[in-house]
Structure 1
Amino acid sequence: MLKHWPPLNALRGFEAAARLGSFHQAAEELHLTQSAISQQIRSLESYLEQPLFYRSGRRVSLTDAGHDLLSTTQSLLQQLAVGIRRLEQYSKPNQLVLNTTPAFARHWLLPRLGEFHRRHPEVDLWLFTTDEAPDMASQTVDIAVRDDIAAQAECSFRVLLQDRLYPACHPDLLAMPAAERGTLHGEREMDWNHWEVEAGVDVGQQGNGLNFSDPGLLLDAACQGLGIALVSQLLAQQACRDGLLRPLAERSVRGPNWAWLIHRDSEQSPLTRHFCEWLGEALAPSAEG
């Protein structure tokens, strides 16, 4: 890696002069004098120890080295411009950064986001999904809503509800013999061992079958008719309403606790309050059930 980099202004001056084929036009575009552009090019050539332009009176043209550097410089400046524009999302006045799991975002939150947006169109919600719980002290997150979080310093922690789990499958599989339905396996509470210990009911689950680390994908696979699965009551609400899942037993067993973390810097924000009030209302039927 280079220990020293040429000045960015020199690269901008070079790119403009090379693209326009004129030091004079480059100076006009960058609101500089022609002598300033000439000095930038000379300093860049001195740094690189080779000429970048052929000069003939007021006309200039690129050397082979200049052509090579132009491609690199244009790519560099374009990436830098895109990166700087991307930073605007961190400073929106009405932005609220919500962290959650991919499964909760896809299966519970996304079907309800339209309702939240209609109620609070002023909130620019940034949905930031991760498999691992965030470190609220080091990451730019206002609220985290997850089933795998515990209290953290500088945050308000609140358990919203305890999920329930039950075995289910696509309706088409109900007509098949239990041994032919296939079994889908998950991790943590979604594992069939949890069902066997807590419920002790045989619904035809088998030890082999497809395995999923993401409960959202596990639910997707069950909705596609790939086998029976132990699914989250909270996340499976929409699939049940759509007729994609049918329970295999009347019993359900305890699932993970869904909770939120709210960073203390965001706690008094009206945006945070609006979202939390809406979330509490939307989750209330599940919490009561």
Structure 2
Amino acid sequence: MFAKLPLTALRAFESAARLGGFKAAADELVVTPAAISHQIKTLETSLGVQLFTRTGQGVLLNTNGERLQRQVHAALHDIHLSLAAFQCEPDPLQLNLTTTAAFASLWLIPRLGEFHRRHPQIRVRVQTHNQVIDLHRDSSLDLAIRATFSTDPSLYALPLFDEHFSVYAPPGWRVPEADGALELIDAPWISATQLPIDWEHWCAQAGHEDWLGRAIRHGYDDEQYALQAAMAGHGLVLASNVLVSDSLARGLLVPWREDIRLPAAHYAAVCVPGREREPAVRAFMDWLANLI
């Protein structure tokens, strides 16, 4: 009975009609505007009528499109409600947050025990991703902690701290003699400025250009591994003051030439506006704010 229903085309049509354009629909459905246009043309051909009026400024629903939009929107809304009836109600005492693996392991997890002691009724689930998750699309996530390079006006944000990069060493480290082995640890760091985060720029600012010719370089593709290598005594590491803070507090690393700093990102806790008032999110943000 429903085998030949053009559901993909109908969903593309409903989104374009509701949002007022093919590009907006493409953004919502995570496809290209060309894909939306193709689906609309397929639907119009199958119906034998035009649904949009094409103009130099975009597209407008015509009479046929307005009629179909009311019917399709109502039908899809009913399907949405039917599916929602099978889903569990969100648990107000469950907090789902996303952040990077490095931040979770090096900063958040060492401190999370204090939050659990203050709020034993709230269960925190930490998901790690190196990609930025769209919180508007993934409603299962309550909160994200991000190293941001620009403000997202569509999200509620709690600024946390500014990040910079300095050099850190194992306790007791000394600069080797001219003929001694100088070990430098590399990792892929990202800056909010045009200035790369690398040993070349740090050495130029510190006046240690001679290091580059004599150094043995150890490269890692993950921030955690680079810090672990430094703690194991494998050399100096150019690292984030945020990610290294717990290692400093435990005496596993010490700053070296901390006066030389390369600016980087700004950390913030972000959520969809309105969710900051939910009890678990509010408690977690208050806890973060007290740590700043």
TM-score (norm 2): 0.59
Q: What's 2:269 paired with?
A: 260
1:191 aligns with 2:190: no
Structure 1 regions of 5+ residues with no counterpart?
Answer: 1-86, 285-289
- How does 1:163-178 map onto structure 2 within 5 Å? 163-171=163-171, 173-174=173-174, 176-177=176-177
CA shift for structure 1 position 191:
2.1
Task: Tell me the SS of whatever aligns to 1:108.
Answer: helix
Distance 1:90 1:198, change over 3 A: farther
Q: What's 2:250 paired with?
A: 242
What amino acid maps onto 1:112 in structure 2? R
Q: What's 1:137 paired with?
A: 136
Q: What's 1:119 paired with?
A: 118
Q: 1:212 aligns with which of 203, 206, 220?
A: 220
TM-score (norm 1): 0.60
Q: Residues 60-118 of structure 1: CA distance to partner in whole angstroms, max 9, x if unpaired?
A: xxxxxxxxxxxxxxxxxxxxxxxxxxx99994341111111111111111111110100
Structure 2 regions of 5+ residues with no counterpart?
Answer: 1-85, 192-196
Distance 1:152 1:256, change over 3 A: closer
Distance 1:265 1:212, change over 3 A: farther
Q: Residues 128-156 of structure 1: CA distance to partner in whole angstroms, max 9, x if unpaired?
A: 11112211122232111121464446421
Contact map agreement 2:183 2:215 (CA 8 A) in 1: no
Q: What's 2:100 paired with?
A: 101
Task: Tell me the SS of whatever aligns to 1:112.
Answer: helix
Distance 1:158 1:241, change over 3 A: closer
* Higher alpha-carbon Rg: 1
Contact map agreement 2:182 2:216 (CA 8 A) in 1: no
Q: Residues 223-280 of structure 1: CA distance to partner in whole angstroms, max 9, x if unpaired?
A: 1212211111222122122222122214141232112211124221011111011101
Distance 1:209 1:201, change over 3 A: closer
Contact map agreement 2:93 2:279 (CA 8 A) in 1: no
Q: State the number of aligned residues.
A: 198
Distance 1:196 1:267, change over 3 A: same
What amino acid maps onto 1:92 in structure 2? D
Cα distance in 1 between the residues matched to 2:121 and 2:158: 25
Contact map agreement 2:163 2:266 (CA 8 A) in 1: yes
